Chain A
Amino acid sequence: MDWSALWLSVRLAATTTVVLLAIGIPIAYWIVFSSWRGKFLVEAIVALPLVLPPTVLGFYVLVAIGPLSPLGRVYASVAGHGLPFTFEGLVIASVLYSMPFAVQPFSAEFAAVDRRLLEASWSLGVSRLETFRRVVLPLSIRGLVTGIVLSFAHTLGEFGVVLMVGGNLPGVTRTVSISIYDAVQSLDYASASRTSLLLLIVSFVILATTYSLQRSVWIKPRH
Chain B
Amino acid sequence: MDKAASLKAGPNRLRQGYGGPPEPSATAEGPGLPPQASPKGLAVHVNVARRFASGFQLSAVMDVALAPGSICVLFGPSGAGKTTILRQMAGLERPDAGTIRLDDDVWCDVAAAVWRPPQARRIGLVFQEPTLFPHLTVRDNIRFGVGPGSDPIEEIAALLGLRDLEHRHPRELSGGEAQRVALARALAPGPRLLLLDEPFAALDMPTRARLRRDVRALLHRTGTPAILITHDRTEALAIGDTAVVVIGGRVRQIGPVRDVFSHPADVDVAASLGVEAVLPARVLTASGGLLDVVVGATGGRDVVLQVAERDALAPGTEVYACIRAEDVTLGMQLSTHASARNHLEARVVSINAEGPVDRVSLDCGFPLDALITRRSREELNLTAGSQVTAAIKATNVHLVARS
Total interface residues in chain A, CB < 8 Å: 20
A127-B127 contact given A121-B144, A218-B135, CB 8 Å threshold: no
Option from B123, B129, B133, B135 in Cβ contact (under 8 Å) with A123: B123
A188 sits at the interface (CB 8 A): no
Complex CA gap A117/B144 in Å reads 12
Asked if residues B135 and A126 are in contact (CB atoms below 8 Å), the reply is no
List residues of chain B with CB within 8 A of the CB of A117.
131, 133
Contacts of B3 in A (CB 8 A): 125
In the complex, are the beta carbons of B118 and A123 less than 8 A apart?
yes
Contact with B along A205-219 (1 / 0, CB 8 A): 000000000000011
- Say yes or no: B131 contacts A120, CB within 8 Å: yes
Task: Mark contacts of A110-152 with chain B using CB atoms, 8 A cut-off: 1 yes-contact digit, 0 otherwise.
Answer: 0000101101111111110000001100110000000000000
On chain A, the residues within 8 Å of B186 by CB distance are 123-124
Chain A residue with the shortest CB-CB distance to B119: A125
Bound together, the chains give a CA A134 to CA B144 distance in angstroms of 9
B119 cross-chain contacts in A, Cβ below 8 A? 122-123, 125-127
Is the Cβ of A125 less than 8 Å from the Cβ of B145? Answer: yes
| Shortest Cβ distance from residue A139 to the other chain B in the assembled complex, whole angstroms | 6
Q: Are B131 and A124 in contact (CB under 8 A)?
A: no
Chain A hits for B182, CB < 8 A: 120
Number of A-B contacts (CB under 8 A): 62
Are B189 and A124 in touch, CB under 8 angstroms?
yes
Known contacts A125-B119, A135-B133, A221-B171: A119-B92 contact under CB 8 Å:
yes
Q: Kindly state the separation between the CA atoms of A120 and B184 in the bound complex, as whole angstroms.
A: 13
| Contacts of B111-166 to chain A: CB distance below 8 A | 117-119, 121-125, 127, 129, 131, 133-135, 144-145
Q: How far is the CB of B264 from chain A (nearest CB, A)?
A: 33
Give every chain A residue within 8 A of B122 (Cβ-Cβ): 125
Residues of B within 8 A of A37 (CB): none
Q: A138 CA to B141 CA in the complex, in Å?
A: 14
Residues of A within 8 A of B185 (CB): 120, 124
Tally B residues with Cβ within 8 Å of A.
Answer: 26
Residue in A120, A122, A218, A221 with the greatest tally of chain B CB atoms within 10 Å:
A120
- Chain A residues within an 8 Å CB radius of B171: 219, 221
Partner pick for B131 among A114, A125, A220, CB 8 A cutoff:
A114
Contact of B135 among A116, A120, A122, A139 (CB under 8 A): A139
Q: Is the CB of A122 within 8 A of B144?
A: no
A123 CA / B171 CA spacing, docked (Å): 22
* Cβ contact of A139, chosen from B121, B124, B129, B134, cutoff 8 A: B134
Q: How far is the CA of A124 from the CA of B190 in the complex (A)?
A: 10
A119 touching B125, Cβ below 8 Å: yes
Cα separation A117 to B135 with both chains bound (whole Å): 11
Evaluate whether A116 and B127 lie within 8 angstroms (CB atoms) in the complex, with A138-B135, A139-B135 already known: yes
Contact with B along A45-86 (1 / 0, CB 8 A): 000000000000000000000000000000000000000000
Residue B245 at the chain A interface, CB threshold 8 Å: no
B278 at interface by CB-CB < 8 Å: no
Residue of A nearest to B121 (CB): A123
A115 to B182 alpha-carbon distance, docked (Å):
16
Q: In the docked arrangement, what's the CA distance between A134 and B118, Å?
A: 17
Q: How far apart are B279's CB and chain A's nearest CB, in angstroms?
A: 43
User: How long is the Cα–Cα vector from A218 to B92 in the complex, in angstroms?
Assistant: 30
Contact B118 A122 (CB under 8 A): yes
Asked whether, in the complex, the Cβ of B125 is within 8 Å of the Cβ of A123, the reply is yes
Q: Is B90 an interface position by the 8 A CB rule?
A: yes
**Contact mask for chain B residues 176-193; partner A; CB cutoff 8 A; 1 contact, 0 none:** 000000100110010000
A138 to B169, CA, bound (A): 14
Residues on B with C-beta less than 8 A from A127 are: 119
Q: State A218–B171 Cα separation when bound (angstroms).
A: 11
Closest residue on chain B to residue A117 by CB atoms:
B131
List 6 A-B residue pairs with CB atoms under 8 Å apart, sorted by A's residue number: A121-B133, A122-B119, A126-B119, A134-B144, A218-B135, A220-B134
Pairs of residues from A and B, 3 with the lowest C-beta to C-beta distance, nearest first: A124-B145, A123-B125, A122-B118
With A119-B131, A124-B186, A221-B171 already in contact, 18 other A-B pairs whose C-beta atoms are closer than 8 Å: A117-B131, A119-B90, A119-B125, A120-B125, A120-B127, A121-B144, A122-B92, A122-B118, A122-B119, A123-B91, A123-B124, A123-B125, A124-B145, A124-B185, A124-B189, A138-B135, A139-B134, A218-B135
Please give the residue numbers on chain A whose beta carbons come within 8 Å of chain B beta carbons, in ascending order. 114, 116-117, 119-127, 134-135, 138-139, 218-221
